Amino acid sequence: MATLDAELVRLIGDERRVSTSQSVLEQHGGDLTAHAARSPEAVVFPETTEEVASVLRWCGAEGVPVVPFGAGSSLEGHVIPVSGGITLDLTRMDRVLELRPEDLTATVQPGVMRSALNLAAGRHGLFFPVDPGADASLGGMAATNASGTTTVRYGGMRAQVLALEVVLADGSTIRTGSRATKSSAGYHLSGLFVGSEGTLGVITELTLRLYGIPEHTVAARAVFPELDAACRTAVALVGAGVAVSRVELVDASTIAAVNAYKGTSYDEEPSLFLEVSGSETAVAGELEAARELAEGEGCTVFAAERDPTARARLWEARHHALFAFLARSPGKRHRATDVCVPVSELPAAIRFARATVEELGLEAAIIAHAGDGNYHVASLLDVDDPAEVAAVQRLGELVVEDALARGGTCTGEHGIGLGKIGYLEREHGDLIPLMRGIKQLLDPQGILNPGKILPAA
């Protein structure tokens, strides 16, 4: 075999789109977390489905591992090429192929960033709702079944994907789903590829749902004397059917970090960041209902933000919470647990997490997509301090065990990647043989993102 990069150049016919430069390899070898990095042997930047297919066909024949790569913002070591091989960076497949305002759909290539889709859809008064905070690629978001601040109202990626084009490990290309908003035609293969983390195929095209931009939107900050009251309010809002489009729980230490990082001056107390949208009258009614419920739980400040700039500032502060937290201890890495419990269990689950953080003597922040019962405990750790690493590991284990005991899941949105393989076994051990069978059928040689999701055989 000629050298790997020479073969890749031959396959896609453009040496500028195959890189073995150290900085590019390193950029594709790790993520923001404490998972150990490992560079791929080469990075390929395809521009068409045919190029993806010919690279996969060749890699399949030669047994070369392939890791698909979007924006690299995933948080469980998903993009780390633990078995070597190549990284397929899809960011040059970045065209919005078709917008159909009359059908409320868009068809995009996988490297389109969610912000770019929103820019294109916005010209038609439409938007794409899934908002994981980071500006991720739509292919990566589908591959992790991403969700985020708006999921309480619109659902996560699986609810938005109508159709996919996927290149399989043998280089063949399939199309799942249709442009229709619903279908009962056979097995839900789009749903299988969504959340498959690059282990079953490479997504090369997505048809997604869009929504009309609401006429009127108001954000609000509800401040509470204690975290439990904020949690109970979130549960009550969902239970009462208040039409919130966002309900995010942010603990006091996170708000202090955000204020220091962003220069904001939000009350440094446990808070809910809320958003309500719809017609002006409906928004006023829902906001009043939210205020009443919050005040019933002892809310001390309920500040509505109507001005678009103030609203944008509030959500930017929420989205930058992780970076604010990291900035507090330069040099430390972070590890975020991501569990999801039935929403009624959220207050008790978060009480347990807070007590466990204190018992283990860790520095950690708790934030939650509270309306979904999905919460994160983000811990800072010095990777060279074995005691701290062990304590963070223990925290993750205890929080996952607690979530499972409450009828929840080991990951609400970040996925399994490398970091949660053991927990997947704990949650769905009896289903691992079935999942392995699916992997074997679609990727018999195991070239697609090996070492992720499934435990070693």
Please answer whether residues 127 and 137 qualify as being in contact, where contact means their C-beta atoms are separated by less than 8 angstroms: no
Interface residue with ligand FAD among 7, 46, 69, 364 (CB under 6 A) is 69
Site for ligand FAD in 123-142 (CB under 6 A): 132-134, 136-137, 139-141
Nearest distance in Å: CB 277, ligand FAD = 19
Nearest distance in Å: CB 76, ligand FAD = 8
Which of these ranges, 35-43, 53-61, 68-76, 307-315, lies near ligand FAD under the rule CB under 6 A? 68-76
Residue closer to ligand FAD by CB (options 17, 394) is 17
Interface residue with ligand FAD among 197, 251, 269, 443 (CB under 6 A) is 197
Residue 53 in contact with ligand FAD, rule: CB under 6 A = no
Which of these ranges, 11-19, 145-153, 179-187, 303-311, lies near ligand FAD under the rule CB under 6 A? 145-153
SS (H, E, C) the chain: CCCHHHHHHHHHCCHHHEECCHHHHHHCCCCCECCCCCCCCEEECCCCHHHHHHHHHHHHHHCCCEEEECCCCCCCCCCCCCCCCEEEECCCCCCEEEEECCCCEEEECCCCEHHHHHHHHHCCCEECCCCCCCCCEHHHHHHCCCCCCCHHHHCCHHHHEEEEEEECCCCCEEEEECCCCCCCCCCCHHHHHCCCCCCCCEEEEEEEECEECCCEEEEEEEECCCHHHHHHHHHHHHHCCCCEEEEEEECHHHHHHHHHHHCCCCCCCCEEEEEEEECHHHHHHHHHHHHHHHHHCCCCEEEEECCHHHHHHHHHHHHCHHHHHHHCCCCCEEEEEEEECCHHHHHHHHHHHHHHHHHHCCCEEEEEEHHHCEEEEEEEECCCCHHHHHHHHHHHHHHHHHHHHCCCECCCCCCCCCCCHHHHHHHHHHHHHHHHHHHHHHCCCCCECCCCCCCCC
Nearest distance in Å: CB 195, ligand FAD = 9
Residue closer to ligand FAD by CB (options 99, 130) is 130
Residue 406 in contact with ligand FAD, rule: CB under 6 A = no
Which is nearest to 294 in space by CA: 240, 343, 342, 335? 240
Nearest distance in Å: CB 116, ligand FAD = 12
Interface residue with ligand FAD among 65, 195, 198, 450 (CB under 6 A) is 198
Which is nearest to 368 in space by CA: 340, 344, 387? 340
Interface residue with ligand FAD among 29, 40, 68, 396 (CB under 6 A) is 68
Residue closer to ligand FAD by CB (options 146, 227) is 146
Residue 70 in contact with ligand FAD, rule: CB under 6 A = yes
Could you tell me how many residues of this chain bind ligand FAD (CB under 6 A)?
35
Residue 112 in contact with ligand FAD, rule: CB under 6 A = no
Residue 413 in contact with ligand FAD, rule: CB under 6 A = yes
Nearest distance in Å: CB 110, ligand FAD = 4
Residue closer to ligand FAD by CB (options 43, 67) is 67
Which of these ranges, 21-29, 73-81, 247-255, 300-308, lies near ligand FAD under the rule CB under 6 A? 73-81
Please answer whether residues 153 and 199 qualify as being in contact, where contact means their C-beta atoms are separated by less than 8 angstroms: no
Nearest distance in Å: CB 190, ligand FAD = 13
Nearest distance in Å: CB 292, ligand FAD = 28
Residue closer to ligand FAD by CB (options 78, 221) is 78
Residue 241: how many CB atoms within 10 A of its CB?
9
- Side chain identity at 136, as an amino acid letter? A
Please answer whether residues 314 and 219 qualify as being in contact, where contact means their C-beta atoms are separated by less than 8 angstroms: yes
Nearest distance in Å: CB 225, ligand FAD = 27
Nearest distance in Å: CB 284, ligand FAD = 29
Nearest distance in Å: CB 298, ligand FAD = 28
Residue closer to ligand FAD by CB (options 202, 381) is 202
Which residue of this chain has its Cβ atom nearest to ligand FAD in the complex?
140
- Side chain identity at 213, as an amino acid letter? I
Which of these ranges, 12-20, 40-48, 74-82, 342-350, lies near ligand FAD under the rule CB under 6 A? 74-82
Binding site for ligand FAD (CB under 6 A): 32, 67-75, 78-79, 90, 110, 132-134, 136-137, 139-141, 143-144, 146-148, 197-198, 202-203, 322, 413-414, 449
